[in-house]
Amino acid sequence: MIHTLFVIQLVSMGAMEMSGPFWPLHLQTLGASGQWLSFAGIAVYVGPMLGIVLTSAFWGRIGDRFGHKLMMVRALLGLALTQLALAFSTDIWTILVLRFLQGACAGYIAPAQAYSVSIESAQRRARLFAYLQVSTNVGSLGGAVAGGLILDHASFFWINTAASVLCAVCAVAVLLMLPDRPAPQRTTVEASNPPVAAVGSVPTWRSAPILGLLGITGMLLVSRMLTQTPFALYVRSVFEASNWVVGLCYGLLALGFVVSASLWARYFEQKTVATSLHKIACIAAGCAVLTVIAGLTRDIKLFIAIHFAWGLLLGATTPVLMALVSKAAGSQRQGYILGIAQSTAQFSSIAGIAIGGWLSLGLRLQYTYFYVAVSYVLALLLIVAILRRSPVAATPATVAAGEP
């Protein structure tokens, strides 16, 4: 079942990433320019994320009550319908509204994670989250390159149409190939030994270690997403590259993640929260160094290599942090807590995209990667502050325990 879920997530996320790096270029062809392009280029990415922020916890609660398989089908159908509508949309405001509705009606990742937790042991949770994020990133690589090839030989219409068909096929696959899982019931053991984050009636996401972990995850995502809006424009203006090279650079970040995520998951097994965060602080420092080099180079080959290396480091961040969050929550609340985590991730991505778009498009495009480096330094300082001042540093929970 896990392998089936892997393929479905790979195909559906790849379908969405076919258009990922090319929205600003498409908006230019529709007449956007100057400050209007800057606003629309940010909003086209922020819209679906805002929709997820506003609805993810709600859909998580529904999934906890009625089952997460139903939520996966709903999300994939929402993606299919909105992508089909986007294929026929030529008005920029209509596109922005549809992108918001896409996020509000969809939000596939959180229910997929919650469903996967219900069919896999807690001892393998770090590897599980790494495995699923590998599928997302393989899809990102293939989708970005495929989207670039389509755009080099056809119109943007065919990118969205192909994505709609693929998402509809994935919805049917979930419905027919994945078994139903009953909504989790609180066990006697869990009732007598509540999870780390559940203390009295305080919502678990507000308690240690979850709150600190969500904050770190958010800051790292802000750093990662600063390049989202200006990426295609940066690569084309600085390196004068064709669309397929833009897609390749965009996808190699995901490829690096794919190569390293499972290895990082094994490395972090049996480590405490504090030890894990010390290691992640070193990863943030490494990302800062790489992005400085990316901003300095004018060699496209080195730029491509840096993106691959950056992806290798990113494999040690989100899967490990999400596994820690999931383990700290009880089985009965996986949908809700992972919904909160997804909302946090999307809100952070919104912030990163908005700040990156404003800094890069509104000020100086050529300084994009220096802004990213500064953001990683701030993430490093946040981790250090949490380790020094928060109870998370003393929490003995591990990312995952046991052998496969």
The Cα–Cα gap between 71 and 133 comes to 19
CB 113 within 8 A of CB 2: no
Q: For residues 262-275, give the mean pLDDT.
A: 82
Domain ranges of the chain: 2-179+201-394
Peptide bond before residue 194 is cis, with ω within 30 degrees of 0: no
272 three-state secondary structure: strand
Q: Which of the residue ranges 56-60, 182-186, 330-334 would you say has the lowest mean pLDDT?
A: 182-186
Class (C level, CATH) for 2-179+201-394: mainly alpha
60: left (phi over 0), alpha (psi -120 to 50) or beta: alpha
Tell me which residue has tokens 């990863």: 283
Closest CA to 321 of 403, 393, 216, 404: 216
> Of 179, 219, 209, 223, nearest to 323 (Cα)?
209
Tokens representing 178 are: 């994945």
Over the chain, what is the mean pLDDT?
A: 80
Q: Where does the pLDDT of residue 373 fall: very low under 50, low under 70, confident under 90, or very high at 90 and above?
A: very high
Provide the pLDDT confidence category of residue 204 given band limits of 50, 70 and 90: low
Instruction: Write out the two tokens for 201.
Output: 């009636």
Using alpha carbons, select from 321, 319, 313 the residue that is nearest to residue 273. 321
Q: What is the pTM of this model?
A: 0.67
- pLDDT, residue 184, reads 53
Q: SS3 of 203, please?
A: coil
CB 17 within 8 A of CB 144: yes
Q: Is 202 strand, coil or helix?
A: strand
DSSP assignment, residue 19?
S
When pLDDT is averaged across residues 99-105 and rounded to a whole number, the result is 89
C-alpha span between 278 and 393 (Å, rounded): 10
Residue 325 CA to residue 319 CA, distance in Å, equals: 10
CB count in 10 Å sphere of residue 21:
26
Burial class (CB in 10 A: 0-12, 13-18, 19+), 60: buried
Q: Closest Cα partner for 263 from 320, 309, 212?
A: 320
Residue 182 has pLDDT above 80, yes or no: no
The 10s digit of each residue's pLDDT in 289-300 is 999 999 999 998
> For 303-321, what is the mean pLDDT?
90
* Cα 112 from Cα 100, distance rounded (Å): 21
Q: Is 236 helix (H, G, I), strand (E, B) or coil?
A: helix
**Among 207, 209, 218, which residue's Cα sits nearest to residue 344?**
218
What is the 3-state secondary structure of 88-135? CCCCHHHHHHHHHHHHHHCCCHHHHHHHHHHCCCHHHHHHHHHHHHHH
Of 149-158, 184-193, 326-335, 385-394, the least confident: 184-193
- The whole-number pLDDT of residue 394 equals 47
Q: Where do the DSSP E strands lie in 213-261?
A: none
Q: Name the residue with tokens 């009550």.
A: 65
The CA-CA-CA angle for residues 214, 257, 52, to 5°, reads 45
Range of weakest confidence among 123-127, 269-273, 275-279, 315-319:
123-127
DSSP, collapsed to helix, strand or coil, labels residue 199 as strand
- pLDDT category of residue 38 using cuts at 50, 70 and 90: confident
54 versus 309: the higher-pLDDT residue is 309
pLDDT, mean of residues 18-34: 83
What is the token pair recorded at 35? 């400050």
Q: For residue range 39-91, list pLDDT tens digits in order.
A: 888 788 888 888 888 887 788 778 777 778 888 898 899 999 999 999 999 89
pLDDT computed for residue 285 by the predictor: 95
Q: Is the pLDDT of residue 398 over 60?
A: no
